[in-house]
Amino acid sequence: MNSLGLTTLCCVLVVVGTLECFSYAQLDPSFYDSTCSNMHSIVRDVLSNVSQSDPRMLASLIRLHFHDCFVQGCDASILLNDTDTIVSEQSAAPNDNSIRGLDVVNQIKTEVENACPGIVSCADILALAAEISSELANGPVWEVLLGRRDSLTANQTLANQNLPGPNFTLDQLISTFDNQNLNITDLVALSGAHTIGRAQCRFFDNRLYNFSNSGNPDPTLNTTLLESLQAICPNGGPGTNLTNLDLTTPDTFDSNYYSNLQLQNGLLRTDQELFSTTDADTIPIVNSYISNQTLFFENFKASMIKMGNIGVLTGSQGEIRTQCNLVNGNSATLATFTSKESSQDGMVGSI
Ligand code: HEM
Ligand SMILES: *[C@@H]1O[C@H](CO)[C@@H](O)[C@H](O)[C@H]1NC(C)=O
Ligand SMILES: *[C@@H]1O[C@H](CO)[C@@H](O)[C@H](O)[C@H]1NC(C)=O
Ligand SMILES: *[C@@H]1O[C@H](CO)[C@@H](O)[C@H](O)[C@H]1NC(C)=O
Ligand SMILES: *[C@@H]1O[C@H](CO)[C@@H](O)[C@H](O)[C@H]1NC(C)=O
Ligand SMILES: *[C@@H]1O[C@H](CO)[C@@H](O)[C@H](O)[C@H]1NC(C)=O
Ligand SMILES: *[C@@H]1O[C@H](CO)[C@@H](O)[C@H](O)[C@H]1NC(C)=O
Ligand SMILES: *[C@@H]1O[C@H](CO)[C@@H](O)[C@H](O)[C@H]1NC(C)=O
Ligand SMILES: *[C@@H]1O[C@H](CO)[C@@H](O)[C@H](O)[C@H]1NC(C)=O
Ligand SMILES: *[C@@H]1O[C@H](CO)[C@@H](O)[C@H](O)[C@H]1NC(C)=O
């Protein structure tokens, strides 16, 4: 069980006579080396195929990992569908009609299950897909820590509470990230994921016509960009049209997201806030990423790894789902559920 990379500490708790065992587990980049050594290439092949016809998918998968991690940790809770016992996070306000890539994750899972049944968690697939997406968009490359397990629950209420909104103030953003033990360097670096992908008008159109009931557009929005956004997002329209988050290089992972902010070309209010909030501590960080893209990439990698460690389930916690949208044991998956458990149980040798 060495490959599980576990540091296990057992202790006896004299609580109504039960023996409880706490496992302090570490994620490990070589977690699947002996059990599913081609996992990395499977994920990469699917994504490199899909991104040829749908380059936006790389962005969508990075976002999916983020929306997973901020809600009860990186445990694939976002993938669980509505059932009798699950209230899906997918219909929480920040996710509803907005998250993409669930079908691609299922495609990856199917191929990984064919190669190594019952081994790889959906939470790890999300983490690895996010990294490979960065790589395929010419962004930073890092070694993904693995060994997460999948949750038995989801929490839609928590998704509404923990995920930031596009109209948040900088103080609200800082506190949302602080709740996850992420600091302002992490906030600025991770916001740089908006160097790729798209957003719907409804997430920023409050800036275009009557911002904060002023009767005028957001004064921190570049007037040239304003005009083109007003054409795409008619006043009072449904807000479903899409536009690029990064005005200059929409599908390339680079530091132009930050240079845009200097020209008031941030798309979401929360993007522009990082640079346009008077005297904010985030301004020098933005400037440093503009002058040094390597620094942005280094910080982005560190922050993605930090985010990927939030609230992970390891050892014998949770499970390895057979189907990413369902908890095992659900009637729909009973047929494939048997015989997977003992090989997955990191605590087997230690109880
Ligand atoms: C700082 C607070 C953040 C806010 C308020 C925010 C909000 C949003 C919104 C409203 C969209 C558009 C969704 C849509 O139109 O359906 C979006 C897209 C996106 N977000 Fe964020 N986000 C934040 C941070 C992050 C972080 C930390 C990451 C990843 C590390 C991220 C990655 C993305 C990506 C890649 C897209 C494009 C997705 C696509 O095209 O499908 N965002 N975000
Ligand atoms: C990728 O596409 C190629 C050619 O279309 C196909 O042969 C291959 O099976 C695909 N691979 C995956 C992992 O989808
Ligand atoms: C989960 O929901 C999606 C979208 O509603 C659907 O395509 C998928 O088949 C569902 N998965 C299962 C296992 O029911
Ligand atoms: C979801 O999270 C909220 C807020 O932390 C908590 O009060 C609630 O008990 C959780 N619900 C479930 C179903 O776990
Ligand atoms: C944020 O945390 C990282 C370590 O995770 C640290 O290197 C960095 O200096 C911190 N930034 C701030 C502004 O505290
Ligand atoms: C956005 O925030 C501003 C001030 O913080 C507020 O006045 C405005 O009503 C908000 N807009 C929306 C659409 O929530
Ligand atoms: C802006 O919104 C406020 C509050 O809804 C309204 O009183 C005002 O007339 C609006 N201004 C314009 C120019 O539409
Ligand atoms: C989408 O944008 C086009 C202009 O590019 C505009 O004519 C159309 O009304 C918009 N549709 C919606 C649903 O806002
Ligand atoms: C607005 O953006 C354009 C480029 O898109 C730039 O040339 C101009 O300087 C920007 N205006 C301001 C006030 O930053
Ligand atoms: C850019 O940042 C990298 C990573 O922190 C650092 O090694 C390098 O010295 C910086 N370059 C400049 C010109 O400051």
CATH number at residue 231: 1.10.420.10
Please name the residue whose Cα sits nearest to atom 1 of ligand 2: 49
- Model's pTM, two decimal places? 0.91
Residues 203 and 128 in one domain: no
Residues recognised as catalytic: 67
Residues 126 and 81 in one domain: yes
Residues of the chain with pLDDT under 70: 1-25, 331-351
Q: Which of 301, 319, 334 is the last residue of a domain?
A: 301
DSSP state string for 157-179:
HHHHHHSPPTT--HHHHHHHHHT
Number of the ligand closest to the Cα of 236: 8
Residue 182 CA, distance from chain mean position: 14
- Residue of 64, 77, 81, 83 with the most ligand 3 atoms within 8 Å of its CB, for mutation: 81
> Is 99 part of a structural domain of the chain?
yes
> 253: closest CA among 108, 167, 132?
132
Work out the angle at residue 2's Cα, subtended by the Cα atoms of residues 318 and 111, and round it to the nearest 5 degrees.
55
Backbone angles phi, psi at 282, to 5 degrees: -80, -20
Residues 273 and 136 in one domain: no
Residues 53 and 114 in one domain: yes
| Residue 259 beta carbon below 6 angstroms from any ligand 4 atom | no
Residues 170 and 273 in one domain: yes
Residues 227 and 152 in one domain: no
> Is 138 part of a structural domain of the chain?
yes
Note down the domain range covering 123.
2-160+307-344
Residues 262 and 336 in one domain: no
Element holding 48 (H helix, E strand): helix 39-53
Tokens standing for 145? Answer: 């820590």
Tokens standing for 100? Answer: 């993409």
Residues 50 and 75 in one domain: yes
Distance CA 298, CA 110 (A): 33
> Is 349 part of a structural domain of the chain?
no
Which atom of ligand 5 is nearest the CA belonging to 285?
Answer: 13
- Provide the pLDDT for residue 331: 55
- Provide the pLDDT for residue 25: 59
* DSSP conformational letter for 146: B
Residues 10 and 124 in one domain: yes
How many domains are contained in the chain? 2
> Is 288 part of a structural domain of the chain?
yes
